[in-house]
Structure 1
């Protein structure tokens, strides 16, 4: 019973994440020290 609950929770969270990702699109900047937007602006300059 507990394994089924954990599996259902993970599946629901994954489905929700995919839905939000599809609606909002991929985020421009990834969280963390590495910022791809800075490297892109540096490459343009």
Structure 2
């Protein structure tokens, strides 16, 4: 499995991709919190978990 993480100003998104056929196996997208650094890190952790 290949893992991708996109951290931006509007979203935090993670994907798991099959290395055999490049198909997305799982995707999770969360709006980037604007309330503070701790909330931002919590969103990144949620996507990774």
| Structure ranking higher on relative contact order (CA contacts 8 Å, 6+ apart) | 2
Same fold, judged at TM 0.5 (above): no
Calculate the TM-score normalised by the size of structure 1: 0.31
Larger Rg: 1
Calculate the TM-score normalised by the size of structure 2: 0.28
